[in-house]
A and B are shown apart, each in its own frame.
Chain A
Amino acid sequence: MVVAIIMMLVLGALLGFGLGIADNKLKVEVDERVEHVTGMLPGYNCGGCGYPGCSGFAEAMVDGEVNSFLCKPTKPDQKQAILEYLANTPGPDGSTIKIKG
């Protein structure tokens, strides 16, 4: 019984260690603006904009796929804050995004 528990603990620790190393090696660079904009959106995931959830819409905005602000549930002042954030924060390549209100 004790041997079984120790064996499981050692095996789990080894696999966890391996995954930890792999996680560091295979890290994907994510544009941090996507996360920030997702946090500023209402988070209802209503799908009214045509994208899969709020994070999908935030990604599309940061990628420059949309010209106008499609999210309807966002409050007017919050919407202004998002547009200002996107217009004033440069991405990894130094360019900013302008979206009409």
Chain B
Amino acid sequence: MAELFGLLFTSLIVNNVVLTQFLGMCPFMGVSKKRSSALGMGIAVIFVIVVAAFVTYALYYLVLVPLHLEFMDLITFILVIASLVQLTEMFIKKTSPALYKSLGVYLPLITTNCVVLNVCLVNIQNGYDIGHMIMYSIGTPLGFALVLFIFSTIREKLEISDVPEFFKGNAIALICAAIMSMAFSAFAGVI
């Protein structure tokens, strides 16, 4: 049990996808300008990753392994992820048009968000059993959403602070991301 929560904590904080593995940088820079859209994006990514992880895990062990088609994992996973993102997009468009507008092009871009594929492939590569798979698939997107939200609060402050002319906009945001990444590296070796 302790090991399971260790994995959850590791994937959430210590091996954070964005700040220590540098995956999913595109929405990290793109949707972090406003807190509300960062939160919406975080929830959408959590939903897509959790469902995609379960579906791909089941698909791999119930379909691909019995048929000896393990080499097809990448292409089938991409197919599943693309359909899930389509579903999420329809759902958000129906339930929250405002969120749909603020997420804009980044919503369909979850398809190409490498965090999603990363979680699905690592689940298989590391040979996780069901318990570890669940913990890893929940911890990783939670870490993504957490960091995205923290970063969006920083960027909202940056909007009103006096930034030197050369660093305005994305430049200072990238510097802040680098400092955040260094701060998170302090967690290395905790577990």
Contact = CB atoms under 8 A, between A and B. Distances in A.
Interface of A: 3-4, 7-8, 11-12, 15-16, 18-19, 22-23, 26-28
A26 B90 contact: yes
Nearest to A12: B79
B contact patch SS: helix
Interface string B61-72: 001100101001
Interface string B83-106: 100110011011001000000000
Contacts of A22: 87, 90-91
Contacts of B93: 26, 28
A8 B72 CA distance: 9
B130 to A, nearest CB: 22
Contact of B83 (A4, A19, A27): A19
Given A22-B87, A26-B91, A28-B94, A7 B69 contact: yes
A4 B79 contact: no
Interface of B: 59, 63-64, 67, 69, 72, 75-76, 79-80, 83, 86-87, 90-91, 93-94, 97
Contacts of A19: 83, 86-87
Contact of B76 (A3, A8, A16, A26): A8
Nearest to A6: B67
Given A7-B67, A8-B79, 13 more contacts: A3-B67, A3-B69, A4-B69, A4-B72, A7-B63, A11-B76, A11-B79, A11-B80, A15-B80, A18-B83, A19-B86, A22-B87, A22-B91
Nearest to B69: A4
A16 B86 CA distance: 11
Contacts of B72: 4, 7-8
A11 B59 CA distance: 10
Contacts of B86: 19
A26 B92 CA distance: 9
Contacts of A18: 83, 87
B70 to A, nearest CB: 11
A3 B80 CA distance: 18
Contact of A8 (B75, B83, B97): B75
A47 B80 CA distance: 38
A28 B97 CA distance: 10
A15 B63 contact: no
A7 B59 CA distance: 11
A8 B78 CA distance: 12
